[in-house]
Amino acid sequence: MTLNLLNFIPYYPPGVGFGGAVKRTASQHKILVKNGFKIRVVTSDLRNTSSMTTPPIQTEETKGITVIRYPAFLKQTSYPITPMIIRELRKDLPDIVISTLLWNFQADFGAFFSKSKKIPAILDACGSATLQYGNTILKRVHYNILSRMNLRSYGLVIAQTEIERTNLVEFGVDYDSVFINEPGLNIQEFSSGQTDFFIRNGLVKNHDEIIVLCVARISPEKGVDWLIRSFESLTRTDSRLLIKLMIVGAETSYSEFLKGIVQQLGITKKVLFVENISSARMPDVYSSADIVVIPSYGENFPQVLLEAGAAGKFVIASRIGGMAKVIRDGITGYFVDPANPNTLKDTLSFAIHLSKQERKNVGNKLKQYVIDNHDERMVVSKLAQKLKIFAQTGY
């Protein structure tokens, strides 16, 4: 039996700057299609600059996936609004409606669509079930008026971790309607990158330089400011260190604030912002680093952790969210405490003074954990089974 899925999501590849949840959803779609699903994706067209009165609606079809991109207001923000999405009400009805992520216009329309058409609906929270993503006035209002109300529309809610399930229950979701499906990754893709990315692109000249890598959406909760200050303190303590910090992520308004810190601290030659890197080049970015740091103040289950793990990298991460399940402190990586800023500088110093082989040993243990527990094919197979059951039973 072929199941038709209609997925409402704020962004969708190709492009740069998408978070891990969006990239992961797109990758899952490709595997679901191979398992007999047909998928229609409704999203915003961040490229369209036409007038809202007569805009072209972009439609792309590839291998069982149809992507419909509607022109958007506020597309330079994290909350693109696509009023013409209402046209979906006149199209063929799917078997299941899926809304991806909380706090977005498209997901809330998906809830409205499912209610009006009496179609079973799923929310795939993808780590967004936390108020850290609702810290603007617009999103606070959205949370209190729309998202809480719409949560009652979903017969099934997909969470990444037990922590996210707890958050969802606090938001009013029934505990038994939450299905935990931890993130997956195309492990082969990230374990086969070339190791000379920074040399090739003229960002590093000395092969002996240690590369500290931070891959993140450039926003306050990611803790990049903490990493920059810790890095500066470390290099000031020992100016002889051959080390560079690479901050990889799409440019945002917050990027200028961080660049101001780097300038003020006088470390512009040691801290580089590598912006707008395509997904296809990310395996090379990871493979070319020595240490990966995830210094988030608030996080659920970042895709960066799995990507760095698949690349066999030495990881330093905040002890928060789902990362505490993946990292065994001192064995598959090292934890730092956002409440104790000095822990990041001290742990960085420790990692830098290890030998390459010692860092590799830790990275390989993390890689094995990711292989055993987060292979994308295994994760999506579990999801496919749940979708089939939900289509038949509504739960």
Q: Give 325-351 as a DSSP string.
A: HH--BTTTBEEE-TTSTHHHHHHHHHH
How high is the pLDDT of residue 133?
Answer: 47
Q: Which long-range contacts (CB under 8 A, 24 or more apart) does 263-267 make?
A: 265/228, 265/229, 265/232, 267/228, 267/231, 267/232, 267/235
- Both 280 and 388 in one domain: the answer is no
Considering the domain architecture, whether residues 324 and 385 belong to the same structural domain is answered as: no
What is the Cα–Cα distance from 211 to 223, expressed in whole angstroms? 18
Rounded Cα gap, residues 214 and 222, in angstroms: 10
Strand 3-8 relative to strand 96-100: parallel, antiparallel, unpaired? Answer: parallel
Domain count along the chain = 2
Q: How many CB atoms lie within 10 A of CB 313?
A: 24
CATH number at residue 55: 3.40.50.2000
Does 175 lie in the same domain as 210? no
Same domain for 361 and 380, yes or no, is no
Say what the pLDDT of residue 251 is. Answer: 82
Q: Which pLDDT value is given to residue 321?
A: 85
CA distance 24 to 18: 10
Here the tokens at position 124 are 């795939």
Angle at 35 between CA 70 and CA 94, to 5 degrees: 40
Residues 207 and 123 in one domain: no
What angle do helix axes 342-352 and 224-237 make, rounded to 10 degrees?
60
> What pLDDT shows up at residue 132?
52
Examine the domain organization and report whether 148 and 13 are in the same domain.
Answer: yes
Identify whether residues 11 and 26 lie together within a single domain: yes
Taking the chain (395 residues) in runs of 10, the rounded mean pLDDT of each run is 92 74 91 95 77 69 92 72 90 94 88 92 88 54 65 91 89 91 93 92 90 93 96 90 93 91 96 90 96 93 95 96 91 95 96 96 98 96 95 86
Do residues 60 and 130 both lie within one domain? yes
Q: What is the predicted pLDDT for the residue at 131?
A: 53
| Same domain membership, residue 173 and residue 52 | yes
Residues 280 and 387 in one domain: no
Domain span at residue 224 reads 187-373
Residue 213 and residue 314 in one domain: yes
Q: Are residues 380 and 346 in the same domain?
A: no
Residue 60: other Cβ atoms inside 10 A? 12
